[in-house]
């Protein structure tokens, strides 16, 4: 169990490094901030939250699968584990729909979605 805790800890230690480049402008030797930089920052935040959501979902599905296997035929424990799996699946769908809605809104407003806004100097 300690091994999984260390894996999770190393994951969360690496996350701030992943999010360190959120504001790519306005510093010494960098260009002035523009609207595209703001939207690029929003893209970074959405990607960061999506990354965290997927990690938490994988951990929760693993935990639910473990409890399902360890239920040993106990109907209450099996139903609880199945409920957890379905809740995680519904959470994944909500996260992906939220990403799709944000991307669609940006596509309508700007002509390009989240993918194209992360590029510097645009």
pLDDT at 15: 55
Confidence bin at 28 (pLDDT 50/70/90): confident
pLDDT at 54: 83
- Core vs surface per residue 76-96: b (16+ CB within 10 A) or e: eeeeebeebbeebeeeeeebe
- On the question of pLDDT at 117 being above 60, the answer is no
pLDDT at 121: 42
pLDDT at 115: 56
Map out the domains of the chain as residue ranges.
34-116
Q: What element of type H or E holds 90?
A: helix 75-110
CA distance 46 to 2: 31
Average pLDDT over residues 4-20: 56
């Amino acid at each position: 169990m300690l091994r999984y805790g260390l894996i999770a800890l190393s994951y969360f230690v690496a996350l701030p490094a992943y999010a360190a480049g959120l504001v790519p402008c306005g510093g010494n030797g960098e260009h002035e901030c523009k609207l595209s930089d703001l939207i690029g920052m929003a893209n970074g935040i959405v990607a960061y939250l999506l990354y965290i959501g997927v990690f938490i979902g994988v951990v929760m599905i693993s935990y639910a699968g473990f409890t399902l296997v360890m239920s040993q035929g106990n109907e209450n424990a099996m139903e609880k584990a199945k409920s957890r799996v379905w809740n995680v699946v519904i959470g994944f769908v909500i996260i992906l729909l939220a990403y799709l809605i944000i991307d669609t809104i940006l596509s309508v407003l700007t002509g390009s979605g989240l993918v194209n806004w992360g590029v510097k100097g645009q």
